[in-house]
Structure 1
Amino acid sequence: MNGKKSPHPAAKASANGHNGPPVGSETTIAGPGADQPQAEEKRVVDEPPDGGYGWVCVVSTFFINAHTWGINSSYGVFLAYYLANDYYPGASALEFAFIGGLSISQALLISPLATYITRVYGTRTTLLLGVALETLALISASFTHEIWQLFLSQGVCFGFGMGFLFVGSVGIVPQWFTRKRGLANGIGTAGSGLGGLMYSLATNAMIDRLGVEWAFRILGILACAVNCTCAMLIRDRNKAIGSIQLAFDYTLFKRPAFLLLLGWGFFSMMGYIVLLFSLPNYATSIGLSAQQGSIIGAVLNLGQALGRPLVGIFSDKAGRINLAGLCTFIGGLFCFVIWIFAKSYGVLVFFAIIVGTVAGTFWTTIAPVGAEVVGLKELPSALSIVWIVLVLPTTFAEPVALELRQKIGNTYLHAQIFTGFMYVAAAVCMCFLRVWKVGQIEQIAAEQEKKPDDIDAASAEPVDDRAVSFAAKKPKSSVLKRLFIRKKV
């Protein structure tokens, strides 16, 4: 024995393009005698607990989503009421359509600032700022008398509050889980579906019995109480995993896989927003009552509440990219084969609940899929860019759908076709992302001299060109083979 040790595998960590070890890897920490050949090494494993207090964070995220995205989902009920009663004299249908999308786009637009505040002041500060802004928005909306005031309150201010709460909570759950990441994320995001179900029905009832003003005030009080409690319970693991909280990391745009991720999000949101806000109004356009329209919107959210945990469970088993692409395609297929022909209350209820199970697949899987594309450390930076890119589709999707309406015949036919094609385009992006992921696994397998089947896709950290000098000499399988090969990715 000469006292020398072979380099630990962790020494190769820098080769994966990150500034530190990937989550779940072993970091070697040298003791005081590190300069001596026989110094002992201490290994620290920063591995997510895959449970424990993480479930408290899941429940807290669930209720935050219910009282942000869930409340925002009830805008379809407000929209139907505004259009039917000329609530703001002189306001056009197009102006009302912008408000629902505006709240979502502003939530995404504020994400870089929210990410910066999270880095400097912490997650809890970001969440509490969101609580204050959302409460202010809902209460102030109850005192509006002109459409521009509604733009500022229910549109911009509510969107800012929702954005702070969303950015502060969206990256928490993946930090606590590995094998159960899809399930945990699915449960957390299901809150938006359940919240949408409850508040679509409750909002319609409150408007009928108490008026629009008190409907806003009650929503504001409830949101404040629940979100404050959840903000105090949530804990992040940013320090434990060395998370990079940069608002923009422009180097991500050099990665083709990340561009495909952006394309998937862009097209998914174009379809999702139209479904979310158009279904109640579509119901009234085929002769159903406003109450039936609100029930249709509620059933869509019920489908999301039921479907998102299932998407999470099966994505852990079948592969996150695989299931995200499949469910996105199914959403478009349902629009073509069911929605276009839905002319009765029963068929529309069936469509709402079945399409709801897959319509929000993006929100369920974006964090787990994003982690596989860029890694957990760079996930906050990647998500910040994703949210900014989604500003355009979330702002203009519903106005585009309203402009596509026809005055005679099937009023929403063009909007329905548009929605279906958006989901299909998003699914195509996921197909190419699958091709990339399988190729990445082949590269890692070649570098480690293993078989591709021995590489776990979920734990495989993204690699850059510097990390695959050996693998680059190995021929990869064809694009078609990587597209159709049976592989959990």
Structure 2
Amino acid sequence: MLTLGCTLVVLGMSMLSLATAYWQVFLAQGICVGLGSGLLYVPALAFVSTLFPGSVRLWAIGCVNAGGGMGGIVYTFMLRDLQPHIGFGWAVRAIALVTLVLSVVALAILLPYRSKAPKPQQRRAIFDLKALREPSFLLFSIAMFFNYLAFYITPFYIPMYATEALHQSRSFAFACLVYMSITSIIGRTLPMLAAGRFGSLQVYTAATLGTIVALFSWTAVHNVAGFLGFALMYGIVSGVQVAAPSAAMSHPVLSPTINVIGTRMGMGWMFAGVGVLVGSPIAGALVNVTPGRVDFKPAQSFAGAVAAGALLCLIFPLIAVIKHDKKTA
């Protein structure tokens, strides 16, 4: 899966550099790169989850997720700086080349390893219907859907908010995205150390609460200083939102055996993927709900409200995890 995922991502980026019509962009970036990214992300996290034990696993998951934040910084700078000089096509080809080189290095390191999980007696199911009959796992997955319904609204609309609401330059809007990516790396790594002490689901729940606070505080931002503070805060909590769910899903309450971790991670991230798919279009409709006027408050309030829904869904699995840990302590 990892090899196929790397191949699709590099192929999709290469085809994107040649695209001249919308449908070509959709096929190359939306379908090819999208499928490749899905085949890379969840299997990589599942691989790490079964390879490392205990608290080391949490740190390893955090480091894997930190790579996404680094990519958000490096690729953003590459496209911004290369496009004016060599054009969009060659800038994307340069990104595809970097991706290819890094993929070859990563696969050369990973493929010799074998998962420490016991080999299953029968073929693993891609989708485990029994998991959806477990209240803790079902509510956790719904919480991921709600969290990711709100997750990408901020990165999509930070540049527009900076230029439209605060009347700042495009370079300032770009800088805010970079700052958010930098603090996202912090959120993807350091809180995972706390997860080893307090528990991954506990950290994820705390990050969801922090997300609610950040999103509703965004509605009160009317100056540059406040906006930068919001971007930095959201970067941290969003980083935890990326790293903590996979670590939480390796808990016995959500994944009873190590052999089902990969399947259940895939199912949980499927719920999240649906949220990503519909969240930003809903926000776009809300931003333009008043004809002839851009109003960010409905989208901001929507994001905060669905994050609050995620927090409510996390209460039951959190209680179940705490009870389990007390029994096994």
Q: What are the equivalent positions in structure 2 for 1:5-154 lying under 5 Å apart?
A: 126-154=1-29
Native 8 Å contact 2:48 2:60 kept in 1: yes
Shift of 1:240: 4.0
1:223-272: CA deviations, max 9, x gaps? 01101210121155435433674211211111111101111210110111
* Pair 367,241 (structure 1): closer, same or farther in 2 beyond 3 Å: farther
In structure 2, do the counterparts of structure 1 residues 266 and 240 end up closer, same or farther at CA, with 3 Å as the change threshold?
closer
Can you list the C-alpha shifts for 1:307-332, whole angstroms capped at 9, x where unaligned?
21112111111111111101111111
Pairwise CA distance, 1:305: 0.7
Percent identity for Structure 1 against Structure 2: 23
8 A contact 1:200–1:295 mirrored in 2: no
Q: Give the C-alpha shift of residue 416 in structure 1.
A: 0.8
The runs of 5 or more residues in structure 1 that have no matched partner are: 1-125, 446-454, 457-489
* Match status 1:329 vs 2:204: no
2:96 corresponding residue in structure 1: 220
Name the structure 1 match of 2:190. 310
2:119 maps to 242
Asked if the contact 2:207/2:241 (under 8 Å) is kept, the reply is: no
1:404 to 280, 286, 300: 286
Which residue of the partner structure matches residue 206 of structure 1? 82
How is 1:403-422 mapped onto 2 (pairs within 5 angstroms)? Answer: 403-406=285-288, 407=290, 411-422=295-306
CA drift at 1:425: 1.5
Do the aligned partners of residues 209 and 349 (structure 1) sit closer, same or farther apart at CA in structure 2, a change above 3 Å counting? Answer: farther
8 Å CA contact 1:246, 1:380 repeated in 2? no
Which amino acid in the other structure matches residue 178 of structure 1?
A: G
Checking the alignment, whether the CA contact within 8 Å between 2:142 and 2:271 is kept in structure 1 is no
Shift of 1:333: 0.6
Aligned residue identity for 1:289: S
Q: How does 1:452-467 map to 2 (within 5 A)?
A: 455-456=328-329
Q: In 2 relative to 1, CA 356–204 (structure 1 residues): closer, same or farther, beyond 3 Å?
A: same
Q: Aligned partner of 2:311: which letter?
A: A
User: Partners in 1 of 2:162 and 2:12 — Cα distance?
Assistant: 29
Q: Which moved more, 1:153-162 or 1:245-254?
A: 245-254
Which position in structure 1 is the counterpart of 2:322? 438
Q: Which amino acid aligns with 2:287?
A: R
Q: Which residue of 2 aligns with 1:271?
A: 150
TM score, norm. by length of structure 1:
0.62
Deviations 1:372-418 (A, max 9, x none): 12132211111222233233211111111110014566621111111
Residue 441 of structure 1: how far off its partner (Å): 4.4
Name the structure with the higher helix share: 2
Which runs of 5 or more structure 2 residues have no equivalent in the other structure? none
Alignment of 1:183 onto 2:67: no
Once residues 409 and 428 of structure 1 are traced to their aligned partners in structure 2, the CA distance between those partners, rounded to angstroms, is 33
* CA distance in structure 2 between the aligned counterparts of 1:302 and 1:437, rounded to whole angstroms: 31
Superposition RMSD on alpha carbons, in Å?
2.0
* 2:255 match: 374
Q: Structure 1 289/208 Cα, relative in aligned 2: closer, same or farther at 3 Å?
A: farther
Q: Name which of structure 1's ranges 322-331 and 179-188 shifts more when overlaid on structure 2.
A: 179-188
Q: Deviations over 1:123-167 (max 9, x none)?
A: xxx222112211111111112121111111111111111122213
Q: Which moved more, 1:258-267 or 1:161-170?
A: 161-170
Match of 1:5 in 2: none
